[in-house]
Amino acid sequence: MPLPKQIGPVLLCGWPGLSGLWYRGKISSLLVAVGFSILLNLALVSTFLWPWSLGETFPVVAWPMILLIWAVSAWVAYHRLTDVMSVPVSEKVADPSQPDTLFNQAQREYLGGHWDEAELLLERRIAHAPRDMESRLLLATLLRHSRRLEQASEQLNDMQRFDESLEWDFEIDRERQLIELIRRHEEAEKLLDPGEDFEDVLPTNNDGFVRVNNRRVTEPVVQTTN
């Protein structure tokens, strides 16, 4: 395995645990670095400041142990430095099975026009995190685009059961307005549908108005007699 050529990373090997702490933030490396620091300070104090504090035998045992620990840790850290500096595979590529990546995948599928795949991913995300308002709102938008207006409205109603929805009031209201506009458009299409039966567009009562499915759509029809 090739070793790093930069002098900076190599210098980190000079203190036990420092390379792992610097590049990975490992708790074990922190404990090694702190432990070595405590041992070294105790050896310095017992040797130069208060030789009587820890006894005469402590420095005799401590200094060889410190040198051994330093040499072994420096050798191990230097030969493992390339692996420590590299980014783990788990950090390079997100695991598709992890719930926190489902929304991003669903968003890509939605923007790509793959609505069925996006809906499945959003449902999985919501099942794992019911209070994820962003996923619920995207699902409601998807349902609206696919003209499943009742399901979209139900999803918005479900959102408002949670306190987190208070921050999404504007988006929810906007989505409801769009759903209502589509409903009105569909109703208008039904009124203007050329395939309606002829009997359905005749006046249905005595007020003279032309009606389609009991809806008044034109001015009164003036009936003349010869």
Q: Going residue by residue through the chain (226 aa), what tens digit of pLDDT does each one get?
A: 444 445 767 777 888 888 887 777 778 888 888 989 998 898 888 888 887 777 778 888 889 998 998 899 888 888 777 666 654 444 434 444 454 578 888 888 888 888 898 999 999 999 888 889 999 999 999 999 999 999 999 999 999 998 888 899 999 999 999 999 998 888 887 776 555 544 444 344 444 443 444 444 444 434 444 4
Helix (H) or strand (E) holding 216: strand 215-220
| Predicted pLDDT of residue 122 | 92
Sequence-distant (6+) residues with CB within 8 A of 172 are 137, 156, 159, 160, 165
**Tens of pLDDT, residues 124-156:** 999 888 889 999 999 999 999 999 999 999 999
Share of the chain above pLDDT 90, in %: 23
CA nearest 179: which of 130, 7, 187, 92? 187
pLDDT of residue 178: 92
CA-CA-CA-CA torsion for 155, 160, 166, 171, nearest 10 degrees?
A: 30
Residue 186 near residue 209 (C-beta atoms within 8 A): no
Note the pLDDT of residue 153: 93
Return the structure tokens found at 147.
Answer: 């003209």
Question: Chain-wide mean pLDDT for the chain?
Answer: 76
Task: Output the six-digit token pair for 179.
Answer: 């759903």
Instruction: Report the C-alpha gap between 4 and 77 in whole angstroms.
Output: 12
Provide the pLDDT for residue 84.
63
DSSP letter (8 states) at residue 215: E
> How many other CB atoms are there within 10 angstroms of residue 189's CB atom?
9
3-state SS assignment for residue 15: coil
Measured CA to CA, the distance from residue 134 to residue 76 in angstroms comes to 47
pLDDT value at position 59? 84
Cite the beta strand spans of 93-166 per DSSP E.
none
Q: Which domains does the chain have, with CATH numbers?
A: 7-91 (no CATH), 99-191 (1.25.40.10)
pLDDT tens, residue by residue, 40-65: 898 888 888 887 777 778 888 889 99
Q: What's the pLDDT at 83?
A: 67
* DSSP 8-state assignment for residue 88: P
Show contacts of 17-26: CB within 8 Å, 24+ apart. 17/73, 18/77, 19/77, 19/80, 19/81, 19/84, 20/77, 20/84, 23/84, 23/85, 24/84
Global pTM reads 0.44
pLDDT of residue 194: 52
